Amino acid sequence: MHEWTAVLEAKTPMDHNPYEPPSSPAETPRTRPIRWLVWSGVICLVLAALCFAATVLGMLVTFSAIGRSPTVSAEQVARGISIAMLPAAAVVPLGVVGILLLVLGLVFRRRVVRQERLDRRQ
């Protein structure tokens, strides 16, 4: 038993717990989002919103034309609805890509290395 106590005493504890938050803000590196990912995500989401608005507007125009006409064939209704639904096909892919780019841009952050660059120049 004496051998085991010598082995246990010889081991040193960890100096720093990796799961413990830093004690001061100076220990945490400054980061910022990757801007091109964030802006690409915002642009995709804006385009998805515009496609959705175009779909709603196209449906309103189609149904108002149906309401004004006394005789409407099924072919005219189908043609108007199919044209109005074209932008709707782009809403889901643009929305998914936009959300993914936005999240990736905010999650994967770059270290701010301005001070390090200034020190190298001097």
Per-residue pLDDT of the chain (122 residues; tens, 9 = 90+): 556 555 555 555 556 666 666 666 555 666 777 888 889 999 999 999 999 999 999 889 888 888 888 888 888 888 888 888 889 899 999 999 999 999 988 888 776 666 556 666 66
Q: Check residue 116 and give its pLDDT.
A: 58
Q: Check residue 72 and give its pLDDT.
A: 80
80 touches 41 (CB < 8 A)? no
Q: DSSP states of the chain as a string?
A: -HHHHHHHHHSPPPSS-TTSPPSSGGGSPPEEE-HHHHHHHHHHHHHHHHHHHHHHHHHHHHHHHHHH-SS--HHHHHHHHHHHHTTHHHHHHHHHHHHHHHHHHHHSEEEP-HHHHHHHH-
Q: Check residue 111 and give its pLDDT.
A: 67
Q: Check residue 8 and give its pLDDT.
A: 53
